[in-house]
Chains A and B, each alone.
Chain A
């Protein structure tokens, strides 16, 4: 079992829709969870982080965390074509020394 799992996609949504990206992790002791966006050919940029169970909102982005189910998700409301990218889920391992990344979900937002 991979430490951090994401559906590779592509996830296709029309402009203006809600995109839902999901991530599961295996280390039950993990405490910190991060979402990065990576455009093709570019480096990852941090867009959201969450530490507590529940929802955390930042503009059009909402991160959701359920530690009991070992599940973290990212919702993008009012999706725009500029949101088309690969979204990487990253989990801080127990001991706080390194991030473990999923392989990413490719999102395509069509006009």
Chain B
């Protein structure tokens, strides 16, 4: 089945620790996105990538880093510089080249601080 796989489903971070969230897709989509959702809030864009080896900062990139070495994979690292990392993290992907491009989401990763 084609889809977007995020892992782990739950993740705990200790103070001063970097953690990496995995996102893999087999939809052959060029574009991938990372969002953060806080309770009762909408989605805020962290980073996005429209092509391999290229990515752009979204609205809340501080304290996060990404890489896009393969079309299928777009991992997100939450660094120790992100002082309030507790949130629901969502990865999405879409085709590019047209404005008619709905994004499809993985099941998300819940990150909490220990």
Using a CB–CB cutoff of 8 Å, the interface residues on chain A facing chain B are: 4, 8, 31-32, 34, 42-46, 49, 51, 88, 90, 92, 96-99, 101-104
Q: How far is the CB of B103 from chain A (nearest CB, A)?
A: 6
Cβ A96 vs Cβ B101 within 8 A: yes
Q: Which residue of B lies closest to A45 (CB)?
A: B105
Interface size class of B (residues with CB under 8 A): 20 to 34
Cβ A32 vs Cβ B41 within 8 A: no
Cβ B102 vs Cβ A88 within 8 A: no
B108 interfacial contact with A, CB 8 Å: yes
Using a CB–CB cutoff of 8 Å, the interface residues on chain B facing chain A are: 33, 35, 40-45, 48, 50, 56, 58, 90, 98-108
Cβ B100 vs Cβ A49 within 8 A: yes
Cβ B102 vs Cβ A46 within 8 A: yes
Cβ B41 vs Cβ A103 within 8 A: yes
Residue from the list B40, B41, B101 in contact with A92, Cβ < 8 A: B101
Residue from the list A31, A44, A51, A104 in contact with B90, Cβ < 8 A: A44
